[in-house]
Amino acid sequence: MSELRFEGVTVRYGRALTAVDGVDLTVPSGQVVGLVGESGSGKSTLARAAVGLAEPAGGQILLDSVPLHHRPGARRPLQMVFQDPYSSLDPRMTIGDSIAEAMPRDSSRPSRRDEVVRLLELVGLDADRVSAYPGALSGGQRQRVAIARALAGKPEVLIADEITSALDVSIQGTVLNLVRTLQRELRLSMLFISHNLAVVRYVSDIVAVMYLGRIVEVGPAHDVLGNPQHPYTKELLAAAPRRGSTSLPPPDEALVADAEPADPHYPPAGCRFHPRCPIGPLIRTDREHCLTLDPTAEADHRLHRAACHHAAGVLRAVGSNPPVLMQLKEDSQ
Ligand SMILES: Nc1ncnc2c1ncn2[C@@H]1O[C@H](COP(=O)(O)OP(=O)(O)O)[C@@H](O)[C@H]1O
Ligand SMILES: [Mg+2]
């Protein structure tokens, strides 16, 4: 088990676009952090930075307090499963070879074969699939192979980026269940990314909400979803079907916010959410400060580290360890 920590991570594409802007986020050992936010908010870019596919322009990423680029050894401690199981597997390689390729180099041939069979069974596929090609498999089966491939690297941290979004609604639930079961059995730390709050709610211990390159609210899933502080989190929650209303996660399409998507090339001044905010200066003329004051600066002093001037504050009780968080004020929203 390992802790993954992002400290002030910034990732840019060219000069004009800051896709991830000073993100602090911790995935505690053996826990699932669900990262949710609309398309373009920077979720995949943050994930790509963790696995070395994007170079941070600032900040650092640590595994058990050691910066990732300082970690020696062939074993790749972070593995990622991507959204599209049709492009993530080599069509010319058998399933077995594809999984074996991802194993640490030190294992012998016979033990590799045994390990491939073990991994196939672990993800709920028959061992005789070992010689099949990806073309013979359904999307859900391919995604199971992609998960087996990720596990073949013996990761300490698994990053799952929209892993059910490209799948048929009917099988999204079984793949989610599989990932949740594996995470618990293998005691993996996991960063689970989705634009769908219903999906994130289903698997996460901690929920982090991302908007325009920044984390705008983070905390234990139960607290964030039960007592959301940021108006954007409230918007996402209002769009997500209630817990228990359906046995399977709903189709992704149902949850797309109807607002204009924000353009990260031109992040608004002050609070980045202000042009869309239902409790902000567009509606409440006395809230001009939202146009100029960035709420990120004081986020640590608010409940769920909410980047909103009108979120409840917290007081750290003196001498308590761990600190007791107390709610200071409830803003009338
Ligand atoms: N390779 C890239 N080159 C340039 N811009 C990119 C690239 N990948 C993503 N972006 C842009 O960065 C922003 C964040 O994208 P992304 O991290 O994919 O968000 P999400 O996963 O939340 O949808 C978007 O504006 C997107 O268009
Ligand atoms: Mg993405």
What does the domain layout of the chain look like in residue ranges?
4-255, 269-333
Q: Rounded to whole angstroms, how far apart are CA atoms 331 and 333?
A: 6
Identify how many contiguous H helices and E strands the chain contains and give both numbers.
Answer: 9, 12
Predicted local confidence at residue 87, as pLDDT:
87
pLDDT, averaged in runs of 10, over the chain (333 residues):
95 96 98 96 97 94 88 72 90 95 80 93 95 95 96 95 92 94 96 95 96 98 97 92 51 42 88 94 93 95 97 71 52 49
The finding on whether 42 has its CB within 6 A of some atom of ligand 1 is yes
Predicted local confidence at residue 326, as pLDDT:
53
Residue pair 32/61 in contact (Cβ under 8 Å)? The answer is no
Strand residue runs (E) in the chain: 4-13, 17-27, 32-36, 58-63, 66-67, 78-81, 157-161, 189-194, 206-211, 214-220, 314-316, 325-327
Query: Could you tell which of 12, 44, 162 is best to mutate to test the pocket of ligand 1, judged by most ligand atoms within 8 Å of the CB?
Result: 44
pTM of the model: 0.90
Predicted local confidence at residue 256, as pLDDT:
33
Q: Rounded to whole angstroms, how far apart are CA atoms 98 and 152?
A: 10
What 3-state class would DSSP assign to 10? strand
Number of the ligand closest to the Cα of 45: 1
Q: How many angstroms from the chain centroid is the CA of residue 119?
A: 24
Q: How far is the centre of ligand 1, averaged over its atoms, from the C-alpha of 132 (Å)?
A: 34
* CA within 13 Å, CB half, 272: 21
Q: How far is the centre of ligand 1, averaged over its atoms, from the C-alpha of 116 (Å)?
A: 34
Cα distance from N-terminal residue to C-terminal residue, the chain: 41
Predicted local confidence at residue 325, as pLDDT:
53
The finding on whether 40 has its CB within 6 A of some atom of ligand 1 is yes
DSSP string, 19-77: EEEEEEEEE-TT-EEEEE--TTSSHHHHHHHHTTSS--SEEEEEETTEEGGG--SSS-S
Predicted local confidence at residue 55, as pLDDT:
93
CATH code for residues 4-255: 3.40.50.300
Query: Could you tell which of 6, 9, 10, 13 is best to mutate to test the pocket of ligand 1, judged by most ligand atoms within 8 Å of the CB?
Result: 13
Residue with tokens 């390159």: 213
Tell me the Cα Rg of the chain.
21
What 3-state class would DSSP assign to 193? strand
Predicted local confidence at residue 65, as pLDDT:
94
Residue with tokens 């989190």: 233
